Structure formats: structure tokens, C-alpha cells
């Protein structure tokens, strides 16, 4: 009897141990399943965050490209405006100086006629004084871009000369050339502002 009871007790303990082992296996499997599920959730979250960051990065790159394009256009427009304004100022200055110098050309002519007359007189002091003033005036005008057109004995050029009349040339080499200058011509910064009035040999 005692042996039977012992055997029964041992069998009961064995069954209980098996049950406990099964419970532990189930518990371990449950934990492993939970861990796998957590890892999957974590990976999904990380993947979602990466996608969001890539989307934001793409949006920022697009905004940067748009802003950069606007900046380049604005800078280009401002640079063009600056160049145009500088050119307009230079042209305005040239135009203003051209008008003033044009009005001074008759004074220059008067100086030259006066010097030609005074040169024949005996008053050398007055001649030298007027010559000094004339040279200062001409130097100032030359420094501002005025240049005399040298026409005497030059080939007649319609770009620089205005033929008032023609006269028979003394020899063949003088034909088509300027024989006399009635009024001097001038250029200002390379542009003709008064044509030289000349007599041409024919």
C-alpha cells in the first residue's frame, strides 16, 4: 500500500512538473512573440520616420532651388539696372559736356582770328598774353575729349569734311584733296561735333 501511495505521489509530482514545464514554454513563446512584435513595430516606426525625413528633405531642396533661382534672377536684374544707370549717367555727362563744348567752338574761332590779326601788329606783349590764354583754353578742351580734325591737304572725307566749294587743282596730285580750310572741324571723344568746312580740288 505504501509503495502504491509513493508511486501515486511521484506520478502526481511528475505531472505537475510537466505542467509547470509546459507553462514555462508557453510563457517563453509568448515573450518571444511579444519581442518579435515589438521589434517589428520599432522597425516600422524607424522606416516611417526615415520616409518622413526624406520627404522633408525633398521639400527643403525644392524650396532651396526656388529661392536660389529667385535670388539669381533678382541679382541679375539689379546688375543690369546698375549697368544701365551707369551708362545713362555717362551718356548724360557726355551730352551735357558736348553741348557746352559746341557752344565754346565759336569762341575758339574768335581767339584764332584775333591771334592772326595780332600776329601782324607790333604789340608782341598782347599777342603773347592772348596766345597763353588761348593755349590754356584749348588744353582744357582737349583734356575733355575735344580733337581738331586735320583737313588741310588731306583726302576729302565726307565723314569729317563738308565741301563748301571746289576749285581747279594746281596739279593732278591735289585732285580730290582739301586745298583750303574755311572753318576748322572738331571731334569730341571720337564723334564729329562739327565738320571741317573746306575747299576741294577738282
For residue 59, what are the contacts with CB-CB under 8 A and spacing of at least 6? none
Cell numbers describing residue 186: 572738331
For residue 97, what are the contacts with CB-CB under 8 A and spacing of at least 6? 144, 145, 188
Ordered mean pLDDT values, 10 residues apiece, the chain (202 residues): 50 52 57 61 75 82 84 86 84 76 92 88 84 92 91 90 88 87 91 92 86
SS3 177: strand
Q: What is the pLDDT of residue 23?
A: 56
Q: Is residue 130 part of a domain?
A: no
CA distance 160 to 101: 18
Residue 151 belongs to domain with CATH number = 2.30.22.10
Q: What is the pLDDT of residue 16?
A: 53
Q: Is residue 47 part of a domain?
A: no
Q: Is residue 172 part of a domain?
A: yes
Range of the domain at 201: 147-202
Q: What is the pLDDT of residue 24?
A: 58
Closest CA to 44 of 33, 52, 55: 52
Q: What is the pLDDT of residue 160?
A: 92
Q: What is the pLDDT of residue 10?
A: 52
Q: Is residue 197 part of a domain?
A: yes
Cβ atoms of 170 and 133 closer than 8 Å = no
* 133 CA to centre of own chain: 45
Quick one: CA torsion of 99, 105, 107, 113, rounded to 10 degrees? -170
Q: Is residue 2 part of a domain?
A: no
Q: What is the pLDDT of residue 136?
A: 94
Q: What is the pLDDT of residue 27?
A: 59
For residue 147, what are the contacts with CB-CB under 8 A and spacing of at least 6? 186, 187, 188, 190
Q: Is residue 81 part of a domain?
A: no
Q: What is the pLDDT of residue 91?
A: 74
Q: What is the pLDDT of residue 125?
A: 85
Q: Is residue 170 part of a domain?
A: yes
Cell numbers describing residue 21: 514545464
Q: Is residue 179 part of a domain?
A: yes
Q: What is the pLDDT of residue 61?
A: 85
Q: Give the residue carrying C-alpha cell 546698375.
A: 82
Q: What is the pLDDT of residue 41?
A: 65
Closest CA to 108 of 128, 85, 90, 135: 135
Q: What is the pLDDT of residue 175?
A: 86
Q: What is the pTM of this model?
A: 0.55
Edge-to-edge strands, sheet with 185-188: 146-149, 185-188, 191-194
Q: What is the pLDDT of residue 199?
A: 92
Domain count within the chain: 1
Q: What is the pLDDT of residue 147?
A: 92
Q: What is the pLDDT of residue 107?
A: 92
Amino acid at each position: 500500500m505504501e509503495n502504491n501511495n509513493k508511486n501515486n505521489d511521484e506520478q502526481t509530482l511528475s505531472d505537475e512538473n510537466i505542467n509547470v514545464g509546459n507553462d514555462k514554454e508557453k510563457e517563453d513563446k509568448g515573450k518571444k512573440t511579444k519581442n518579435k512584435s515589438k521589434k517589428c513595430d520599432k522597425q516600422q516606426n524607424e522606416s516611417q520616420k526615415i520616409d518622413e525625413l526624406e520627404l522633408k528633405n525633398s521639400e527643403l531642396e525644392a524650396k532651396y532651388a526656388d529661392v536660389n533661382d529667385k535670388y539669381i534672377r533678382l541679382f541679375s536684374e539689379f546688375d543690369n539696372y546698375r549697368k544701365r544707370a551707369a551708362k545713362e549717367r555717362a551718356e548724360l555727362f557726355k551730352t551735357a559736356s558736348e553741348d557746352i563744348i559746341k557752344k565754346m567752338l565759336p569762341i575758339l574761332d574768335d581767339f584764332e582770328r584775333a591771334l592772326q590779326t595780332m600776329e601782324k601788329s607790333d604789340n608782341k606783349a598782347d599777342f603773347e598774353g592772348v596766345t597763353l590764354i588761348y593755349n590754356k583754353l584749348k588744353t582744357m578742351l582737349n583734356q575733355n575729349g575735344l580733337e581738331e580734325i586735320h583737313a588741310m591737304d588731306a583726302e576729302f572725307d565726307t565723314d569729317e569734311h563738308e565741301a563748301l566749294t571746289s576749285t581747279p587743282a594746281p596739279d593732278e596730285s591735289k585732285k580730290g584733296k582739301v586745298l583750303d580750310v574755311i572753318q576748322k572741324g572738331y571731334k569730341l571723344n571720337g564723334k564729329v561735333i562739327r565738320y571741317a568746312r573746306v575747299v576741294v580740288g577738282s
